[in-house]
């Protein structure tokens, strides 16, 4: 991959100022010269570095990864070229994921771990946020994608439906209902519930199920993630409804699972900036989640 020191210099100014005009003024060159070099760099790498929708000029996930490489290896242009090639192929770079708690320590953590094991030059950071905070982090450039439940309906964002989760009830050892294949909402609510935080869309779906069935329930405690919820249930603190995949992720947690007789389905979606949706690293992560 042919990347020159001059291209890196102009890219850095464009990245720093979030504007080709301001970058050109700082370097005392013309704005078209900055725009041309950025476009050449994007063509060379085969990825979009800046989101130009509307009046914006915001760095994409690929630009953030390239800037990190530049800062770390500025004296080694060959190393920067190598990192740029990895970003372009999706085998390297830095991906920042914001995810709701319901799938943080199951589907998202597993997908991130598999990809980083397969591609040692790829770094994936996972931040657990509620849905609103995750989307805000995405829009403000603090995350490259957000795993949520709802479709935000924003034309500047791309929404990919990943799956529909069909949760199960979990009960502690010795529970009167332990060992049963199925359980109704009324039977489940006979004991206190352990739930995710109030802003969790997964919790809202569970609460709506109880409401549809006309069943009153008591909340005993709140767990930040489903692993925490399962751990409390295993100790006998209460019952819970979780994504079935947590049973494999939380090894050593002794609980009994039962299918719900009430209808409960919960969608998960991956949200990205429209300009970043074709970044190879994001495509790999999306494929792994799917």
Q: How many domains does the chain have?
A: 2
Chain-centroid distance, C-alpha 226: 16
Same domain, 280 and 136: yes
Same domain, 155 and 222: no
Same domain, 116 and 186: no
Neighbours of 28 (CB within 10 A): 6
217: nearest Cα among 194, 183, 243: 194
Same domain, 151 and 187: no
The predicted structure's pLDDT at residue 244: 85
Q: What are phi and psi of 76, to 5 degrees?
A: -120, 90
Dist CA 115 CA 133 (whole Å): 25
Same domain, 124 and 11: yes
Tokens of residue 108, six digits:
């998202």
Beta strands in the chain (DSSP E): 50-51, 58-59, 93-99, 122-128, 145-148, 157-165, 168-171, 182-183, 193-195, 219-222, 240-242, 256-260, 266-273
CATH assignment at residue 224: 3.40.190.10
pTM of the complete model: 0.71
Same domain, 128 and 151: yes
Same domain, 194 and 113: no
Same domain, 64 and 177: no
Same domain, 173 and 283: no
Which residues are paired to 222 by β-bridges?
A: 195
Which structural domain range is residue 249 located in? 167-264
Would you give per-residue pLDDT tens digits along the chain (290 residues)?
678 888 888 898 899 999 988 988 888 889 999 999 999 999 988 999 999 887 788 999 999 998 888 877 655 666 667 777 887 888 888 999 999 988 888 889 999 999 999 999 999 999 999 999 999 999 999 999 999 999 999 998 999 999 888 899 999 998 999 989 999 999 999 999 999 998 888 899 999 999 999 999 999 999 988 889 999 999 999 999 998 888 776 667 888 999 999 988 889 999 999 888 788 888 999 999 98
Dist CA 252 CA 244 (whole Å): 15
SS3 category, 281: helix
Same domain, 127 and 57: yes
Same domain, 128 and 238: no
Same domain, 109 and 50: yes
The predicted structure's pLDDT at residue 76: 61
Dist CA 203 CA 149 (whole Å): 11
């Amino acid at each position: 991959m042919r990347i020159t020191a001059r291209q890196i210099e102009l890219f850095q100014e464009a990245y720093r100022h979030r504007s080709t005009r301001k970058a050109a003024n700082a370097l005392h060159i013309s704005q078209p010269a900055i725009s041309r070099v950025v476009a050449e760099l994007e063509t060379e790498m085969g990825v979009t570095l800046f989101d130009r929708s509307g009046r914006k000029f915001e760095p994409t996930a690929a630009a953030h990864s390239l800037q990190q490489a530049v800062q770390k290896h500025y004296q080694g242009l060959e190393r920067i070229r190598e990192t740029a090639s990895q970003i372009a192929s999706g085998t390297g770079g830095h991906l920042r994921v914001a995810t709701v708690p319901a799938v943080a320590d199951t589907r998202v953590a597993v997908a991130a771990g598999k990809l980083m094991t397969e591609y040692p030059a790829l770094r994936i950071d996972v931040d657990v946020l509620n849905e609103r905070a995750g989307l805000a982090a995405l829009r403000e450039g603090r995350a490259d994608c957000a795993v949520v439940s709802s479709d935000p309906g924003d034309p500047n964002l791309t929404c990919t439906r990943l799956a529909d989760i069909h949760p199960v009830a979990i009960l502690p050892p010795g529970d009167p209902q332990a060992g049963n294949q199925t359980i109704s909402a009324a039977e489940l609510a006979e004991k206190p519930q352990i739930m995710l935080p109030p802003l969790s869309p997964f919790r809202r779906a569970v609460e709506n199920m109880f409401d549809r069935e006309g069943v009153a329930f008591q909340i005993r405690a709140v767990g930040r993630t489903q692993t925490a919820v399962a751990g409390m249930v295993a100790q006998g603190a209460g019952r819970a409804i979780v994504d079935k995949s947590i049973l494999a992720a939380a090894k050593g947690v002794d609980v009994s699972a039962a299918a719900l007789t009430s209808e409960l389905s919960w969608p998960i979606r991956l949200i990205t900036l429209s300009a970043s949706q074709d970044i190879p690293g994001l495509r790999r992560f999306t494929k792994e989640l799917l």
